[in-house]
Amino acid sequence: MRYVTALALIGLFATSGAAEAPTDVRARVDYHVRHATELAEHFDDVIKRDCPRFSTSGEWQAYVDDEVGRMVLMAAHVEQAWVEAKTTGDDEVRQAAKAPRKRLSEARPLLSKLQTCAENNGATLSVASVWQRIDREVPRRQAEIALPR
């Protein structure tokens, strides 16, 4: 009897670290993909709209900080979707997680638009500083948005 119990416990511990059921992973991947897609749609609108005008440099800076914060959040959701997808061997889930990564390449036109808007508002925008901020803040945001298991 002890032998059977020991084998059952070994089996339980051995499977607890295995890849999760795709349905659980899929729900988490879908959550992050949905948020990344919503943010990408927001950025599409920013690119299409006329540049907003601000009466003070403080208002402009608040606007830019908000948009860069959204860029950080989008990158964090994209990265977290992939982290979640790697826990399963389900190719469909992995493909779903990879889909929004293509939208990250659209950051360049967005930054170009924000640079133009900065000039229209009598300000400057350092693209290099924005990239540094994104690189620096994504891991922290990713940890904040990770769903509990």
Q: pLDDT tens digits, residue range 27-63?
A: 999 999 999 999 999 999 999 999 999 999 999 999 9
Phi, psi of 114 (to 5 degrees): -65, -35
The number of distinct structural domains making up the chain is: 1
Q: Is 82 within a domain? A: yes
Q: Which residue has the tokens 């990239």?
A: 131
Q: 111-145 b/e with 16+ CB inside 10 Å = b?
A: bebbbebbeebeeebeeeebeebbeebbeebbeee
Domain with 81, as residue range(s), is: 22-145
Token pair for residue 103? Answer: 């939208």
Q: Is 8 within a domain? A: no
What would the pLDDT profile of 118-147 be if each residue is shown by its tens digit?
A: 999 999 999 999 999 999 999 999 999 998
For residues 54 and 122, is the Cβ–Cβ distance under 8 A?
Answer: no
Q: Is 14 within a domain? A: no
**Confidence check: pLDDT of 18 > 80:** no
For residues 146 and 80, is the Cβ–Cβ distance under 8 A?
Answer: yes
